[in-house]
Amino acid sequence: MKFTAEQIAGLLEGIVEGNPSVEVSALAKIEEGFSGALSFLGNPKYEEFIYDTESSVCIVNTTFEPSKELPKSLTIIKVEDAYACFGKLLELYDSMTKEEPRIEQPSFISESARIGKDIFLGAHAYIGKNCVVGDNVVIHPNVTIANNVTVGNGTIIYPGATIYRDCVIGENCIIHAGAVIGADGFGFNPDENGVFQKIPQIGNVVLEDNVDVGANSTIDRATMGSTIIRKGAKIDNLVQIGHNVEVGVNSAMAAQVGIAGSCKIGNNVLIGGQVGLAGHLKVGDQVMIAAQSGVVGDLKEKKTYMGSPAYESTDYKKSYLGFRRLPRILTRLQALEQQIKELIKDK
List, by residue number, the catalytic residues: 243
Which residues touch 193 (CB under 8 Å, ≥6 apart)?
A: none
Is 140 within 8 Å of 123 (Cβ atoms)?
no
| CA distance readout (Å), 332 to 18, 324, 326, 335, 339 | 66, 14, 10, 5, 11
What's the first-to-final CA gap in the chain, in angstroms? Answer: 93
CA atoms of 320 and 337, how far apart (whole Å): 25
Angle separating helix axes 5-12 and 82-96, nearest 10 degrees? 110
286 DSSP 8-state letter: T
| CA distance readout (Å), 139 to 15, 90, 179, 231 | 40, 21, 13, 21
Among 177, 91, 196, CA closest to 139: 177
Instruction: Provide the 3-class DSSP secondary structure of residue 45.
Output: helix
Enumerate the β-bridge partners of residue 156.
138, 174
| CA distance readout (Å), 325 to 270, 320, 328, 330 | 31, 9, 6, 9
Is 176 within 8 Å of 162 (Cβ atoms)?
no
Secondary structure string (H, E, C) spanning 138-161: EECCCCEECCCCEECCCCEECCCC
| CA distance readout (Å), 5 to 27, 66, 179, 197 | 13, 19, 39, 65
The torsion angles phi and psi of 292, rounded to 5 degrees, stand at 65, 20
